[in-house]
Chains A and B, each alone.
Chain A
């Protein structure tokens, strides 16, 4: 199937009387890496969370592979299973081992036999460089390790897209690199990714397209080169001058 894998049209979201997303239009192509930047409170996390319905849009349209998320006939759990999400604060399940964190959803949601889920988890732990941590408890991991496990957990469902919500914002500086490296590898393998981040270096290096958001709107979008070297909007320039 061709055409964009993610289509957002006229998306609006309110928290009470406060409008946090205004008329968002967005298309993401297969294998594209879209990086979303912007000041805090600009609505970038909320937009990301609308893509797997952790937040329910108030109006507009969100389609994944042409299927509307807001159509009452759509099974939302099935749609979420196709969209892996990585959170700022990892959200690993503290009562389970690293391995169990990764195998839980493939077994319970996909209905895989335990052996298959375990093999997949072992493979993913090797990929994120944490093979020796399979039996460890999440609270014994460093932040960087925990986030790599969280990425492996999301990948275990073999999702079609990956959503990253400020994946390095809660990490000590020396651990940011190990997480970004895993994300880079994922991008190079052709994973479709939407990444909300403050890591401008990552945006520049890995992003196919960068989106600048402010006050609930997409102000400007372009290739990293266009956006960072020659921003067209005054507000984009003002933001970049503060963070670069």
Chain B
């Protein structure tokens, strides 16, 4: 440890920065896609119709019950090649992360919506509102407020979990840390650098979320 080589960090700094760009970009796209798909998952889970709620429960159980790294590998080597001529690591990464995230955000939506007093829905119905109007104007505005902390937590988890997509060679932070390790046969410098970058990202994200929570 005495001979810590800052020159390795210097050499790899531009690559780490590019990697950070991938981490941020893929995380944002995945959380957004996951949030949209999660809406369908959440409402599907709450549906009184078994042919909607059962498949959705299966979906949630699969994505929560198997390792994310396995989901990424399956997506990359088995699913994406079915649709594209040859597999695409970034597409596979985004698909796996957002499908996985949807399973969790779906539960966040469901819990948030079900936490609202049933009297609110009844009041909306008694005024002649449709189910959609009651959801849109009465339930969701209140539920979203309660979902924000859980949502922020999910976003932070996703940023960290995105490191797993280095196994399919997406050139994000962890990928470059491994590359530096391979080139110099040293672990401290690349891994500590990666740790610092992830920490700064999640720290700033956390601050941002606290700000949003206060604002809403």
User: For chain A, which range describes its interface: under 10, 10 to 19, 20 to 34, or 35 or more residues?
Assistant: 20 to 34
Chain B residues with Cβ below 8 Å from A108 are 129, 133, 137
CB within 8 A of A87: which of B119, B130, B133, B137? B119
Q: Is there a chain A Cβ closer than 8 Å to B185's Cβ?
A: no
Contact A105 B142 (CB under 8 A): no
Q: Which of B57-88 contact A (CB under 8 A)?
A: none
CB within 8 A of B123: which of A83, A91, A109? A91
In the docked arrangement, what's the CA distance between A243 and B124, Å? 34
Q: How far is the CB of A147 from chain B (nearest CB, A)?
A: 12
**CB-CB contacts of A79-118 with B at 8 A, as 1s and 0s?**
0111111010101111100000000110011100000000
In the docked arrangement, what's the CA distance between A87 and B124, Å? 12
Q: How far is the CB of A155 from chain B (nearest CB, A)?
A: 11
**CB-CB contacts of A139-172 with B at 8 A, as 1s and 0s?**
0000000000010011001000000000000000
CB within 8 A of A109: which of B117, B129, B138, B141? B129
Contact (A93, B126) CB under 8 Å given A87-B119, A108-B133, A109-B133:
no
Contact B128 A77 (CB under 8 A): yes
Q: Is there a chain B Cβ closer than 8 Å to A135's Cβ?
A: no
Contact A104 B127 (CB under 8 A): yes
CB within 8 A of B126: which of A89, A110, A154? A154
Q: Is there a chain A Cβ closer than 8 Å to B203's Cβ?
A: no
**CB closest residue in chain B, given A110:** B128
Q: Is there a chain A Cβ closer than 8 Å to B153's Cβ?
A: no
Contact A104 B119 (CB under 8 A): no
Q: How far is the CB of B18 from chain A (nearest CB, A)?
A: 43
Q: How far is the CB of B152 from chain A (nearest CB, A)?
A: 20
Chain A residues with Cβ below 8 Å from B126 are 52, 54, 80, 83-85, 87, 154
**CB-CB contacts of B108-120 with A at 8 A, as 1s and 0s?**
0000000001011
Q: Is there a chain A Cβ closer than 8 Å to B161's Cβ?
A: no
Chain A residues with Cβ below 8 Å from B125 are 52, 54, 77, 80
Chain B residues with Cβ below 8 Å from A82 are 128
Q: Is there a chain A Cβ closer than 8 Å to B213's Cβ?
A: no
**CB closest residue in chain A, given B129:** A109
**CB closest residue in chain B, given A80:** B128
In the docked arrangement, what's the CA distance between A84 and B127, Å? 7
Contact A54 B142 (CB under 8 A): no
Q: Can you name 21 A-B pairs with beta carbons within 8 Å? A: A52-B126, A54-B125, A54-B126, A77-B129, A80-B126, A80-B128, A81-B127, A82-B128, A84-B127, A85-B123, A87-B119, A87-B123, A91-B119, A91-B123, A94-B142, A104-B127, A104-B138, A105-B127, A105-B129, A109-B129, A150-B123
User: Apart from A54-B122, A80-B127, A109-B127, what 15 extra A-B contacts exist at CB < 8 Å?
Assistant: A52-B125, A77-B125, A80-B125, A87-B122, A89-B119, A93-B120, A93-B123, A95-B145, A108-B129, A109-B128, A109-B129, A109-B133, A153-B127, A157-B127, A157-B128
> Which 6 residue pairs spanning A and B have beta carbons closest together?
A81-B128, A105-B127, A91-B123, A85-B126, A91-B119, A109-B128
